[in-house]
Amino acid sequence: MFSIKRYGVELSGALALYAALLLGANAADRLLQPEGAMKIALALLPILGTVAVAWTVLRGLRRMDELQRRIQFDAIALSFTGTALATFAWGFAEDAGAPELRAFHVWPLMAVLWVVGVCIAQWRYR
């Protein structure tokens, strides 16, 4: 059974883990100034936190009832489609002189579109 309070606690914990790993990795990078494989390992360390966030989201989705899952499916579909169209269009714009889009900027776009999709789907299904 899905509980928004339980989900919030789990998601907050996963996000706190991500933040701690990010801050720790950045501090270690500044302090140690590593090179090579160690620099890459430190740069990738926060990914462990994002894995925890993804796991929490997937667990939450599995606990939802059919309507909540449908709302999330609609939101994810909008997010996927919108992100695909935006990045594809930006790729063409780069050929016309627009600045290069870093992959690091794709996830925030996807997240914003997911939130917009949830709002639209909730409005549609009420």
- 98 pLDDT band, cuts 50/70/90, is very high
**Cα-to-chain-centroid distance, residue 29:** 24
Tell me phi and psi for residue 105, to 5 degrees.
Answer: -90, -5
User: Among the three residues 63, 86, 104, which one is the final residue of a domain in this structure?
Assistant: 63
pLDDT for res 102: 94
Among 63, 82, 107, identify where a domain stops.
Answer: 63
Report pLDDT digits (tens) over 13-45. 999 999 999 999 999 999 999 999 999 999 999
Report whether pLDDT(1) > 90: no
Do residues 84 and 52 both lie within one domain?
no
Tell me: do 48 and 74 sit in the same domain.
no
Q: Are residues 89 and 115 in the same domain?
A: yes
> 9 pLDDT band (50/70/90 cuts)?
very high
Indicate if the pLDDT at residue 105 is higher than 90.
Answer: yes
Q: Domain check: are 2 and 22 in the same one?
A: yes
Do 39 and 82 reside in the same domain of the chain?
no
User: 49-97: per-residue pLDDT in tens?
Assistant: 999 999 999 999 999 999 999 999 999 999 999 999 999 999 999 999 9
If one counts the domains in the chain, the total is 2
Same domain, 18 and 59: yes
Looking at 46, 63, 80, the residue that finishes a domain is: 63
Distance of CA 114 to the CA centre of its chain: 10
Answer for the pair 121, 75: CB distance below 8 angstroms, yes or no. Answer: yes
Sign, CA dihedral 89-91-95-98, equals positive
Domain housing 40: 1-63
Q: Quick one: what percent of the chain has pLDDT higher than 70?
A: 100
- Domain co-membership, 4 together with 36: yes
Task: Please tell me whether residues 103 and 114 are part of one structural domain.
Answer: yes
